[in-house]
Structure 1
Amino acid sequence: MASKTAIIAVVVVAVLVVAGVGAFLLMNGGGSNHDYDNVESKLMVRGNANGDYTIDKQDLTIIEDIIDGKLIGGNYPLADANNDGVVNDKDKSLVKDIIDRKDGITVYVVCNDVNGKDTTVEVKYPLRNVVPYGTNMQMPCLFANGGKYVVGYFVHSYEVAEKSISAAAVDLKGTQRTITDAAWANFTALDASLASKGGVGALLVDHSGIAQITEQRKADLDAAGIPMIDYSSADATDELTTVLTLGFLFGGDCEKIGLNYAKTGWDVKEKIESTLKKVDLAKKTYICGTMYIYICGASSSFNTSATTAGGLAYASVNADFAAKYTKNSTKMAST
């Protein structure tokens, strides 16, 4: 049976490999010979009728078969490419444009609403002039090589990684935890300054920070016609889908890089699962820390990173520990 040291090593390697995927792909231009048929991440764009990693002729065939009555549309929810509730020639036409990667079209992106439920937002393709909120969304944006399309940001945390952000991008003066009223005013002013370029293309939000998007701020977004793309991107698995989808929306080399990132991440996940399959679960407990002196609670999305690497959260086997660390992050204390 594997030793604790070996298990810890596997988990650490898994986290490091996944964290380094974006940098590796950026430095290597996204080149890869991956077999993408095994990518489990679903591209969250309507028109992806077969629910795989891209939109291509296979999706068009499904839509045509639904229109002809050969397939049941309800079995293919993303076949409704324009989100109007029916699958017809309009969806067929839109998917043809998506397959051609036609500039200026409107695509329909499935993501979270403010309550964490599925919703669909309209986005111009290719996506440009984005503003990410929170490190957990900013990094997936960069992993897809989208830094050149960032026009503003609320916080910066990783100086080296963020070198790929456009030098013209505006620091909106937010913090890791808060979008102040002043920072939000900076955001709306940025949108106004980009009016000749269509304004801010999208606000990208990690769902763990959704409390900062108040009803009034959501109303501001709606009034300005700024779509909010919200994913639970702090989750290690959901991050792969986030990078895949953002890469597709950015288009060009970003699409390929996002796809390679997702595939590499799933390869790592499968390797970890196969390596640890025979190890007693009780020997794989972990405590997840963040920001140097904080412990992640059971509900923290950071905890899922180690779970993805094959671990078992210590809070799930120690009730006293779970009772002490109930928040997403709590300052360390003697237990």
Structure 2
Amino acid sequence: MKVIKTAFAVTALAAAMAPGLGMAQTELQFGHVGNPGSLFDASATEFAKRANERLGDDYEVEVYGSSQLGGDSSMMQKLKLGQLTFTLPSTVMSSVVDEFGLFEMPYLIKGREHMKRVIEEVLEPELYPLVEEEGYKILAVWENGFRQITNNVRPINTPEDLDGLKLRTPKGKWRVRMFEEYGANPSPMALSEVFTALQTGTMDGQENPLVQIYSQKFQEVQDYLSLTGHVYTPAYVVVSRSHWEELPEEVREVLEETAQEVQDFVYETAARQDEELLGEMEAAGMEVNEADKQAFIDASGPVYELFGEEVEGGSDLIDRVLELGKGE
């Protein structure tokens, strides 16, 4: 059986019989920005393995990491064009639907169990439909993780230590707003460009979950790691709504069920990596410090207020998520 590798993964669903070759196998491409060893890489690879065991001979999920198919924004466009089947955006979702800026609010999500309740009571009933209005569909919510700050200037203990620091952020306005409020000089930049920016001094620092920091090898070009845990970022398994509907129902069922089943694997892997990688960072020569999180929380009020003012229903969303986190 011949596997036809095609950029137009979903629109090739009606592949015809080729003389002497039998039915072509349709490749379902899964693109993401994570490098080998990242949580994104582990998550997408596990999804592909499980899905392919159930799909049979006509369809196969193939994973393309390390921004091979573009950055997050580019891959979201490719979904709509039918050039890609799945992608795994995180922060960029707030550029698609304003309400997803909720997950850019500092210290909002307390932990993974809290996030599960938020998925069930806020994301699925209220935010999923907003995504579908934009032409996308979320199959499952995985994880990017709790974000920490690295830089080459000084340890970050309080927001004051960020004053004037040239800090790379993902492409989402609320992360920029937050770090401006803390006194830094934030600049959005694609993940694939960050290593060089840090190495050359174009950027003093960046913020990411530990597993992204390590898999991107930022420890090779950064001196300080400050454990701020300022934002927990989910990651979303996203498809194009219209192209998704072109897949056979039984194929869609396998893919959606598998994406949701993989969530537990993602959370378990993320928790283990968080524990293991701190030692790896220190062994690489980074100076690690625990930041004063309360000082950051105290400085975060204006960001919450802006979200409430600029996003319809934003204050109510924040209040409900905070209520779901009580006791964590």
Q: Which structure has more RCO (C-alpha within 8 Å, separation ≥ 6)?
A: 2
Q: Identify the TM-score tier after normalising by the shorter chain.
A: under 0.3
User: TM-score when scaled to structure 2?
Assistant: 0.26
